[in-house]
Structure 1
Amino acid sequence: MGPHETEDRTERFPELHAALLETAKAWCREPYTWLLGGSCGLLLQQVELQQAPRDIDIYADITAAKMLHKSAPGVGLDVPVVDRTGPYASLLSHYQVGNCALELVGGFEVWSRKSWYRTEIEHVLVKHAPEAMVGGYTVRLMPLAHELLFNLMRGRADRYEPIARQIRQRPELHQPLMVLLGQQNVWTSRFRAEVEELVGFDWPQ
């Protein structure tokens, strides 16, 4: 297993595995960039989870999300609409794929703890995305650097602590993107200090 590949750990969860296969089949041949995030993405990157993944979170830029909606797997429950819930903003749509819920999140932004983070899938995150095999399909995953920052912003210690442990095992894989995200977004000095303590390396401005 290479540094940017990871084994399929979803086979232990047959309903989830089937839904991921259907999603990959629907979207892997589309010319639009998307990344699998959330608990499924963490599972496929060997991050310890306190409970099994219950749904599928797909991230894309806004234009890509609009196009992916047209060929979405399963049953569409709504159409993409601008959603502002708490500190989050995105173009959001929902689907039922087999027995699993799927969220398609376009142009995701978070405002929290006096910090601001905007996801850029095509120009930033996909260049650092590890790959996983799901059945016969290659699926790209949201990088752990993103997952650490996002979960720290929303106070999910059950997520960011095991993510940080995983980053510490191979810091050289994650530090370049961490530095880039540190430069391209807005973070307080206190938040930066917390990140450095978690990952064990400097996070310069």
Structure 2
Amino acid sequence: MELNKMGERTADYPELHAALLETAKVWSNEPYTWLLGGSCGLLFQEVELQQAPRDIDIYADIAAAKRLHRTAPGTVLDEPQVDKTGPYASLLSHYQVGECALELVGGFEIWARNSWYRVEIDRLLAKHAPCIQIGSYSVQLMPLAHELLFNVLRGRVDRYEAIAKQIRKQPDQHQPLMMLLSEQNMWTSRFHSEVKDLVGFDWHS
């Protein structure tokens, strides 16, 4: 997806900008795909947030996460471990980069509302990931299609309503990936209808 120069959106958050710059600098030399998600990813995609980003969430496939851990920025706080908390499952590890906490999430899955969603970075999401520029480094973001579905599954009204508002501004940009995610995962008809009402278009093939 075309590079957009939104890196300056962290100008109001110097500690966050410094941590993101360090992360991008270290991992830009790696051949493994990683995407910036969570509140940081939403900030760069102009989603209205109720509070400023407090940490950095990085998503990768499991194999990539294991390799990225070896060259992680900042201070390594723990080793990658399989984490099953509530409806979530992933390979999880944590770091301190300057003043910011960084979480590396590998192979994320969520079971909720009788639906199942598996995050596939290389195969699906990276091909639809918008890019930003932080310093001289390009950073790919978790697509809003993912952020919407994830936040509806976990019931974060404050997040998914703001994300849906942004998606409705350019529906043609987001619908193709949402259709793919509909096909590749398990969703109830009720969930499909709820998301359709949020975004204003059908995403069920």
User: TM-score, length-normalised on structure 1?
Assistant: 0.98
Structure 1 unaligned regions, length at least 5: none
| Distance in 2 separating the partners of 1:166 and 1:24 | 26
Cα distance, 1:6 vs structure 2: 4.2
The one-letter amino acid of 2:6's match is E
1:7 aligned residue: 6
Cα distance, 1:203 vs structure 2: 1.7
8 Å contact kept, 1:4–1:129:
no
8 Å contact kept, 1:75–1:97:
yes
1:89 aligned to 2:60?
A: no
Q: Residues 88-137 of structure 1: CA distance to partner in whole angstroms, max 9, x if unpaired?
A: 00000000000100000000000000000000000100000000111111
1:146 aligned residue: 146
8 Å contact kept, 1:107–1:119:
yes
User: Equivalent residues in 2 for 1:7-46 (5 A)?
Assistant: 7-8=6-7, 9-46=9-46
8 Å contact kept, 2:196–2:202:
yes
2:173 aligned residue: 173
| Distance in 2 separating the partners of 1:6 and 1:114 | 39
Q: Equivalent residue of 2:194, what SS?
A: helix
8 Å contact kept, 2:3–2:133:
no
Q: What RMSD, in angstroms, separates the aligned Cα atoms of the two structures?
A: 1.0
Q: Equivalent residue of 1:196, what SS?
A: helix
Q: Equivalent residue of 2:11, what SS?
A: helix
8 Å contact kept, 1:6–1:45:
no
Structure 2 unaligned regions, length at least 5: none
Q: Equivalent residue of 1:47, what SS?
A: coil
Q: Equivalent residue of 2:78, what SS?
A: coil
Distance change >3 Å, CA 76–CA 25, structure 1 → 2: same
8 Å contact kept, 1:6–1:130:
no
1:106 aligned residue: 106
Aligned length: 204
User: TM-score, length-normalised on structure 2?
Assistant: 0.98
